[in-house]
Amino acid sequence: MVNSLQVKEFEAEQEVRSLEWSFDNIANLFSQPFMDLLLRAQVVHRENFHANSVQLSTLVSIKTGGCPEDCAYCPQSVRFETGVQDQNLMTTEAVVDAAKLAKVNGASRFCMGAAWRGPKDRDLDRVAEMVSAVKALGLETCATLGLLKDGQAEKLREAGLDYYNHNVDTSPEQYGEIISTRTQKDRLDTLQKVRSAGLSVCCGGIIGMGESREDRVRMIELLANMNPYPESVPINNLVRVAGTPLEGSDPVDSFEFIRMIAVARITMPRAMVRLSAGRSEMSDEMQALCFMAGANSIFYGDKLLTTDNADALADINLFERMGIETTRDVLN
């Protein structure tokens, strides 16, 4: 157990978190001894959340493949030969069935993803219908549909959308090496539309795309200094899909990935930090350290859009072994 003296010492060391996080401050967090960093992150986590609770989200691809973008990590791009088959937009009935199953299995948030550069208005009308139907089941709703045009975020909010996901992916410096068909500013513009519409923001990035630690610092700097910072921060460990330009990327060191989780927790203390893609390749012990570092949300279910996710029964077993509860309300 963390004693009160340790808590006070770490609180005294922390910068006032309402101030902007500088590059140097974030870099200093990354360079702390591993156990010191985990203790500091765990203290921040316990100040803001129940210590042993994890929120479950389920992600479903409501429209798969055929995306015109060239995101180097994505198997749904038409530019890469990955074996992903194009599929039309699901029916509302099929989405509702998937949401009902997710709820029965313990998910409290249902996320709908579509492989578009951005939705056309006629498609958005159909997605809005899905959102309303899922919301009526008593689930939180999230959508990731690409770039939004004026008025589209408001339409989603009126339909009952709670969160909109649009990741920054990586640092501003590395971004152009990963994607050329949309700029990071395009992404930030969509996030501003989401904020202006009164929706909560889900925004994070991907680790393992050949970036340096400096890139990781820059990405956290970008996220933590948003005003306000995202309510939900997914940290993805790259799934290296055959046929994508990043299929040969070197895996990220486990300790470095856990550091990323810890730094996200410290710099964005009230955010839900989600352990997202790549969990199928993580050991139970690595995931446990991620939870200790402040991760308190996961994608639950056997699929993440088109790639495998950690086995759901294995997740249940891990939570039982760790004494972790899954709940809709993990806030103190």
Among residues 40, 126, 142, 265, the one annotated as catalytic is 142
Q: State the Cα–Cα distance between residues 39 and 258, nearest whole angstrom.
A: 12
Q: Is 71 a catalytic residue?
A: yes
Given 126, 274, 279, 290, which residue is catalytic?
A: 274
Is 203 one of the annotated active-site residues of the chain?
A: no
Q: Given this model, what pLDDT does residue 115 score?
A: 86
Q: Of residues 71, 216, 218, 240, which has the active-site annotation?
A: 71
The owner of tokens 């891990």 is 318
2 C-beta neighbours (distance < 10 Å), count: 12
Strand 307-308 versus strand 303-304 pairing type: antiparallel
CB 64 within 8 Å of CB 306: yes
| Known active-site residue 290 | no
Let me know if 93 is exposed, middle or buried by CB neighbors in 10 A (0-12, 13-18, 19+): exposed
User: Is 111 designated active site?
Assistant: yes
Catalytic annotation present for 202:
yes
Which candidate in 40, 67, 182, 203 is catalytic?
A: 67
Copy the structure tokens of residue 328. 């809709």
Please state which of the ranges 11-15, 21-25, 133-137, 313-317 shows the lowest mean pLDDT.
11-15
Choosing from 109, 111, 240, 259, the catalytic residue is: 111
> Any catalytic annotation for residue 142?
yes
Judge contact between 217 and 23, C-beta under 8 A: yes
**74 included as an active-site residue:** yes
Share of the chain above pLDDT 70, in %: 89
Over residues 151-191, the pLDDT tens digits come to: 999 999 999 999 999 999 999 999 999 999 999 999 999 99
Residue 205 has pLDDT above 90, yes or no: yes
Task: Tell me the one-letter amino acid at 113.
Answer: G
Q: What is the pLDDT of residues 20-61, one digit of tens each?
A: 899 999 999 999 999 999 999 999 999 999 989 999 988 899
Six token digits for residue 330: 């993990």
| Per-residue confidence (pLDDT) for residue 325, from 0 to 100 | 86
Domains of the chain: 21-318 (3.20.20.70)
Average pLDDT, the chain: 87
Amino acid letter at 249? Answer: S
Which tokens go with 126?
Answer: 């159909």
Helix (H) or strand (E) holding 121: helix 121-135
What are the angstrom distances between the C-alpha of 94 and each of 80, 109, 302?
28, 17, 17
Strand duo 272-275 + 307-308: pairing? unpaired
DSSP assignment, residue 222? H
Where is 92: in which H helix or E strand?
A: helix 92-104
pLDDT in tens, 244-292: 999 888 999 999 999 999 999 999 999 999 998 888 888 999 999 999 9
- Which residue type does 268 have? M
CA–CA dist 272, 227 (Å, integer): 16
Options 202, 216, 218, 279, the catalytic residue:
202
Show the 3-state SS of 178-195: HCCCCCHHHHHHHHHHHH
